[in-house]
Structure 1
Amino acid sequence: MKGINQEWAFDFGIGTPTEGYIGVSADTLYDDDRGYGFQGNGQVFARNRMDRDVKVMGEEQLQQSFCIPKGMDFIIKIPDGTYRITAEIGDAIADTHTIIRAGENKAVLPPISTFQGEFKKVMFTVAARNGNLVLKFTGLAPRINNLHISPVETLTLFIAGDSTVTDQAAIGYPYAGWGQILPALFKYDVLVDNHAISGRSSRSFIEEGRLDEISEKMKSGDFLFVQFGHNDEKSDPKRGTKPYTTYKQHLKEYIVAAKEKQACPVFITPVHRRYFNDDGTLSDTHGDYIIAMKELAVEENIPLIDLAAESKILFEEAGIEGSKRYFMWTYPGEYINHPGGVEDNTHFQELGALRLAERVAEQIRQLDLQPLRMYLR
């Protein structure tokens, strides 16, 4: 395995790879000894658009040959750390449409479309964990021409939260948390490191050592976004808290952890569930937990994004029926991962997660949270 200061460059497609690049063909499947390759239940194809009798070098060679990874992961064995990824995508004779995800199913870029003969270089920043980096490729007509990976130090936005925020696994599609979509709304200057995990409260997240894990990585100038409440409201003694006492006490630990590293803590009020009153207004199931978080933000003089208020506006505008498209309300047979259908008023489909992530991004602008604001797309 290469060291943390090493860089990786891959040339995808058919033929001899460009000098200085590792060649990856359609049949380069992941092997632990090799340390890179495709893996998954999809298919990979390869093309070279250049006449074999014509000699090309360098940039032109990198563009003319490519792989078409339809529903496949590209895995690189790599030391844990933060990496800047530069990918080139395009096709000399066809329009393309590529979606790149990272890790569990993290959105790192908006969908990438190119016209015939157009090539785009896109950049994003991700964290490698557990000794590997996983990039997922989908889309209507996906391409990957070449890939460059280099270690970086950059501003990190850490997220602590629950299932409404977490990176939902691809096997649960279209389940998604808003923290899963947020990275795609930032330029490559920011790493969004989402530590939110399903079922956690402000209390259990700390007691399981998850805040300690963030603290070990956090550095001066970073941000820590904190959204809890859904599971704090439960009677479970391992998770439950009381709004004005233990909830506030645990939330204050996140403030302390961030300030000890000279990072900026930001509270986010818990997003609403989809429960409507007879008059079409949204029913508030969080109550005092929202008020308590707002009180603590004022007491400690830290920024607060009122996602409870933002989600109320979003869901009420959509209405009782229209809001179902944001939540995991699906018909039997609509999604292969949920053959029996789902009726879930707490968790989101990707569209809902996207709309909430957009609201978070807009509040970053409104609050002028610098330098985060300047790095939004």
Structure 2
Amino acid sequence: MAMNEWKFDFGCGEAVSGYMKVTANTKYDIAVGFGFMDITRVTARDRKEPGALKRDLCIPADTSFRVDVPDGNYTVSLLMGDWILPACTTLKASPGRLLLRNRTVSAGQFIRETVAVYVQGGHMNLTFSGSAPRVNALEITPAPHAITLFLAGDSTVTDQPEDGFPYAGWGQMLPQLLKHDVVVANHAVSGRSSKSFIDEGRLDVILNEMKANDFLFIQFGHNDQKPDEERATEPSTTYKKYLQQYIDGARNKGAFPVLVTSVQRRYFEPNGQLQNTHGPYLEAVRELSSEQTVPLIDLAEMSKSLFEELGAEEAKSIFMWGAPGEFAHFPGGIEDNTHFQEQGAIRIAGLISKGIREAAIWPLTMFLR
């Protein structure tokens, strides 16, 4: 096996030639560099049917398989199926980045899915869940030439921590909507404005990783409205000037900037129309897009249409609105009109996908699922 390739055969018995065997008892060991984080939630089965990699499998019931790999972009190919039972698998890459959602496979059938994973911290954590998860084989290959879609933004975009589930940002849900040719590198951080993100050196981190033909999606505004000196910008002047730094930085690297207007909050007028809580910040982004000939995804307008179509009550299903006892990590309940629960973040990521298509952002349009 090449040093830059990892191939795993899941199940029972001997490994197929060229693969490392992973059984239900393969607990992660730093000395080995791979394994399940919780083997109490893993079962292995040998169906004793033909097909070297198809014969046996593991059933990882809501647990993670960790592989120590260098930081970078990777393609991950999974073989999933079961000779005698239907399978339904959801796959995420920590922290909570959705790669496959309820991928169903009929009994006796097998599929191979290839996804892209962005790794930071020296390890890849793949979390399996779903009503009937299955994994037969897994191959991990570096993808240094893949297009990287960098995200710069705030809490509505960021990878929310897994211990806050179902709290999620739309950037966390975006990978499932893109083919493995594009790797989503979500650098968005809660509480940041266009100014504080730069002042903290976060744009520099992106630009140091960025290569020609990558993309940078830029969505700020929520925290630029805040009055504190660290974050505050003025729509027609400093806000535009800070956004211009993202545009110039990407273009200097031979990459492509894309402006995204702020996603709307859930605040309605008595007549059922959504309040514009972002004021002139939205128009400032639209103006800058026109002035600098930068593609625009008008997420503010698209989310306004979605929320008004749903109505004030149904729109709660997008946001972190939960009754006491409804969300395990928020036992006392929560009423949040800004941040999304996972199902809502999936809907917003769908609007981003729609925006890519409508703005004809090439070649991303070719890589939409």
TM-score range, shorter chain: over 0.9
1:114 is aligned to 2:105:
yes
Partner SS, residue 133 of structure 1: strand
* 1:296 aligned residue: 288
Report Cα offsets for 1:258-301 as digits up to 9, x if no partner: 00011110000000100011111001110011011111111111
Report the alpha carbon displacement of residue 104 of structure 1 after superposing the two structures with TM: 0.2
2:235 to 211, 233, 243: 243
1:325 to 314, 317, 320: 317
- With normalisation by structure 2, the TM-score equals 0.97
Partner SS, residue 216 of structure 2: strand
Contact 1:42 1:70 in 2 (8 A): no
Q: For 2:39 and 2:96, how far apart are their aligned partners in 1? A: 15
Report the alpha carbon displacement of residue 31 of structure 1 after superposing the two structures with TM: 0.9
1:260-271 to 2 correspondence within 5 Å?
A: 260-271=252-263
2:24 to 21, 26, 31: 26
Partner SS, residue 65 of structure 2: strand
Report Cα offsets for 1:173-218 as digits up to 9, x if no partner: 1111111111100111111111111111101111111111110111
1:64 to 55, 78, 81: 55
1:13-162 to 2 correspondence within 5 Å?
A: 13-40=11-38, 43-50=41-48, 60-152=51-143, 153-162=145-154
1:359 is aligned to 2:351:
yes
Contact 2:27 2:39 in 1 (8 A): no
Residue identity in the other structure for 1:365: R
* 1:312 aligned residue: 304
Partner SS, residue 58 of structure 2: strand
Partner SS, residue 318 of structure 1: helix
- With normalisation by structure 1, the TM-score equals 0.95
Identity of matched residues, %: 49
Partner SS, residue 204 of structure 2: helix
* 1:276 aligned residue: 268
Unaligned 5+ segments in structure 1 are none
Report the alpha carbon displacement of residue 41 of structure 1 after superposing the two structures with TM: 8.5
Q: For 1:293 and 1:41, how far apart are their aligned partners in 2? A: 49
Q: For 2:22 and 2:228, how far apart are their aligned partners in 1? A: 50
Report Cα offsets for 1:319-346 as digits up to 9, x if no partner: 0101000000001111211111110000
Contact 1:269 1:306 in 2 (8 A): yes
Report the alpha carbon displacement of residue 110 of structure 1 after superposing the two structures with TM: 3.2
Report the alpha carbon displacement of residue 109 of structure 1 after superposing the two structures with TM: 2.3
Contact 1:97 1:114 in 2 (8 A): yes
Q: For 1:168 and 1:111, how far apart are their aligned partners in 2? A: 21
Contact 1:271 1:311 in 2 (8 A): yes
Q: Rate the CA distance shift 1:42–1:229 in 2: closer, same or farther, 3 A.
A: farther
1:222 is aligned to 2:220:
no
Partner SS, residue 149 of structure 1: strand
Report Cα offsets for 1:220-260 as digits up to 9, x if no partner: 11110000000110012111111111111110000011000
Q: Rate the CA distance shift 1:366–1:295 in 2: closer, same or farther, 3 A.
A: same
Q: For 1:110 and 1:140, how far apart are their aligned partners in 2? A: 11
* 2:246 aligned residue: 254
Partner SS, residue 79 of structure 2: strand
Q: For 1:164 and 1:127, how far apart are their aligned partners in 2? A: 19
Residue identity in the other structure for 2:98: A
Unaligned 5+ segments in structure 2 are none
Residue identity in the other structure for 1:78: V
* 2:173 aligned residue: 181
Q: For 1:349 and 1:221, how far apart are their aligned partners in 2? A: 32
Contact 2:89 2:100 in 1 (8 A): no
1:336-351 to 2 correspondence within 5 Å?
A: 336-351=328-343
Partner SS, residue 249 of structure 1: helix
